[in-house]
């Protein structure tokens, strides 16, 4: 019993002491924060002046005169507002002041949030050493979020290793992040084949395969239509749905047949994607299978089918009206709801 009492006194006293120390630290920090705010203002003023007078030496003097952390963060914020020649000239000044090396050090030694931000800054600063630092982070950083940020930065710098290698380094756990979609969308056209190869790998994570297909559909265009058509019958519902969405964007000679089959798929996500694609491509020959989907057990599928019929124009609308006027059923209710959608009369 005495131990409970003694320990409680010790822990309470200790916690109060730590808190007092933190309050004292905060008092000092408030002063240094004011100084940092002044220095930040000074740097931003110098950067604005530089965009007018291009006096690089004056800018360098100010950059070197403020603490590294102020220079890094205010500098990055500023260059993200610039484009073209102006940006390049500011970057030259930053390079001459050694900012990329400081950011590289932050990538090695900062906490997770700082390391992710450092990877983004290195991509913007784009020095020779940046690639090496980012590759090292992709290779052995403990946090998968930092590894993903490093991969995206490397992609922006045009130095991302082969996709398979990069994904291996990111690790399986990281291959569920939507940030990979961002990575794939940044892929240069010259490396689209890597995305295609990965999307067709049966052993790859379905989420990653689907993300690769979505990225190809957005940026790759018609060149991959055959590829999408091939994947539309994939065993993985996630991959098949992504391929069908892609087909909806690119179109394909065999699309009606492929979509008709997909509309009978066991997975509701695949059926929804097929209905969406049929509507987007305006395939009026699919009106009959779309009408069948109006009785689907899943609302999402029924709604997608109804919208697809609506987008077919008059023939589709006529079918919807017929259904809306028929006996009460799932398809009748869906048809009348979709026909009524919009401002009330």
Partner 1 sequence: MIADWSHEIVLAATILSWFIIGAGLAQTTIYLLQLIFAGYALSKRPPVARSALLWHRYGDVAPPIALLVPAYNEALNVVESVHSMLALEYPNFEVVVINDGSKDDTLQRLIEAFKLTKFHRPYEEALAHMPIRGLYSSPMTERLFVVDKENGGKADAQNAGINVCRAPLFCVIDGDSILEPDALMRAAQPFIDDPERTIAVGGTIRIANGSKIEAGRVREIHLPRRLLPLFQVVEYLRAFLMARLAWSSINTLMLVSGAFGMFRRAEVVAVGGFTKGSMGEDLDLVIKLHRHMRDTRRKYRIQFIPEPVCWTEAPETLSVLARQRSRWQRGALECFFRYRAMLFNPRYGRVGFLGFGHILIVDVLGPVAEVLGYILIPAFWLLGILSAEYLLAFTALIFTYGVCVSVCSLILEEAELQRFPRARDLAVLTAAAVIENFGYRQLNNFWRVKGWWQYLRGNQGWGEMTRTGLGGVKK
Cα 239 to Cα 182, 229, 302, distances in angstroms: 18, 12, 21
Q: How far is the CB of 307 from partner 1 (least distance, A)?
A: 9
Q: Could you tell me which stretch among 36-44, 105-113, 154-162, 309-317 binds partner 1 (CB under 8 A)?
A: 105-113
Of these, 53, 111, 190, 314, which contacts partner 1 (CB under 8 A)? 111
- Output 2 or 266, the one with its CB closest to partner 1: 2
Tell me whether residue 54 or residue 105 sits nearer to partner 1 (CB atom): 105
Q: What does the radius of gyration of the chain's CA atoms come to, in whole angstroms?
A: 29
Q: Using alpha carbons, list the distances in angstroms from residue 104 to 90, 160, 300.
A: 18, 17, 48
Residues 120-179 that bind partner 1 (CB under 8 A): 120, 145, 149, 176-179
Angle between helices 112-125 and 128-140 (to 10 degrees): 150
Nearest to 291 by CA among 305, 304, 279: 305
Q: Return the number of the residue (255 or 338) whose C-beta is nearest partner 1.
A: 338
Asked if 93 and 60 count as a contact pair (C-beta separation under 8 A), the reply is yes
Q: Counting contacts by CB under 8 A, is residue 81 touching partner 1?
A: no
**CA 240, CA 44: separation in Å to the nearest integer?**
51
Nearer to partner 1, 119 or 283 (CB): 119
Residue 112 interacts with partner 1 (CB under 8 A): yes or no: yes
Closer by beta carbon to partner 1, 133 or else 334: 334
Choosing from 70, 100, 117, 198, the residue that interacts with partner 1 (CB under 8 A) is 117
Distance CA 161, CA 151 (A): 9
Q: Does 338 engage in binding with partner 1 (CB under 8 A)?
A: yes
Please give the C-alpha separations between residue 215 and each of 107, 204, 246, in angstroms, as whole numbers: 28, 16, 9
Give contact residues for partner 1 (rule: CB under 8 A). Answer: 1-2, 4-5, 7-9, 11-12, 14-16, 18-20, 22-23, 26-27, 30, 77, 80, 111-114, 116-117, 120, 145, 149, 176-179, 181-182, 185, 207, 299-300, 303, 306, 334, 337-338, 340-344
């Amino acid at each position: 019993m005495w131990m409970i009492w003694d320990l409680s006194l010790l822990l309470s006293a200790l916690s109060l002491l730590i808190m007092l120390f933190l309050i004292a630290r905060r008092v000092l920090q408030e002063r240094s924060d004011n100084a940092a705010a002044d220095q930040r203002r000074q740097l931003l003023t110098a950067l604005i002046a530089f965009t007018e007078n291009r006096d690089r030496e004056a800018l360098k003097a100010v950059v070197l005169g403020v603490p590294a952390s102020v220079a890094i963060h205010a500098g990055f914020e500023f260059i993200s507002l610039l484009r073209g020649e102006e940006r390049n000239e500011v970057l030259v000044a930053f390079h001459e002041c050694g900012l990329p090396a400081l950011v590289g050090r932050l990538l090695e030694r900062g906490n997770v949030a700082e390391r992710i931000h450092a990877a983004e800054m290195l991509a913007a600063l784009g020095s020779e050493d940046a690639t090496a630092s980012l590759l090292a982070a992709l290779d052995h950083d403990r946090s998968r979020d930092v590894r993903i940020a490093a991969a995206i930065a490397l992609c922006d710098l045009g130095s991302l290793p082969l996709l398979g290698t990069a994904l291996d380094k990111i690790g399986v756990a990281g291959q569920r992040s939507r940030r990979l979609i961002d990575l794939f969308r940044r892929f240069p056209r010259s490396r689209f084949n890597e995305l295609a190869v990965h999307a067709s790998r049966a052993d790859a994570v379905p989420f990653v395969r689907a993300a690769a297909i979505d990225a190809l559909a957005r940026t790759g265009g018609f060149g991959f239509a055959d590829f999408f058509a091939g994947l539309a019958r994939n065993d993985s519902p996630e991959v098949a749905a992504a391929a069908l969405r892609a087909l909806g964007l690119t179109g394909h000679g065999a699309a009606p047949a492929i979509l008709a089959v997909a509309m009978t798929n066991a997975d509701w996500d695949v059926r929804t994607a097929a209905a969406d694609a049929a509507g987007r491509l305006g395939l009026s020959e699919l009106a009959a299978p779309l009408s069948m989907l109006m009785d689907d057990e899943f609302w999402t599928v029924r709604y997608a089918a109804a919208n697809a019929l609506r987008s077919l124009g008059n023939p589709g609308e006529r079918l919807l009206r017929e259904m809306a006027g028929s006996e009460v059923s799932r398809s009748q209710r869906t048809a009348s709801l979709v026909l009524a959608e919009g401002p009330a009369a």
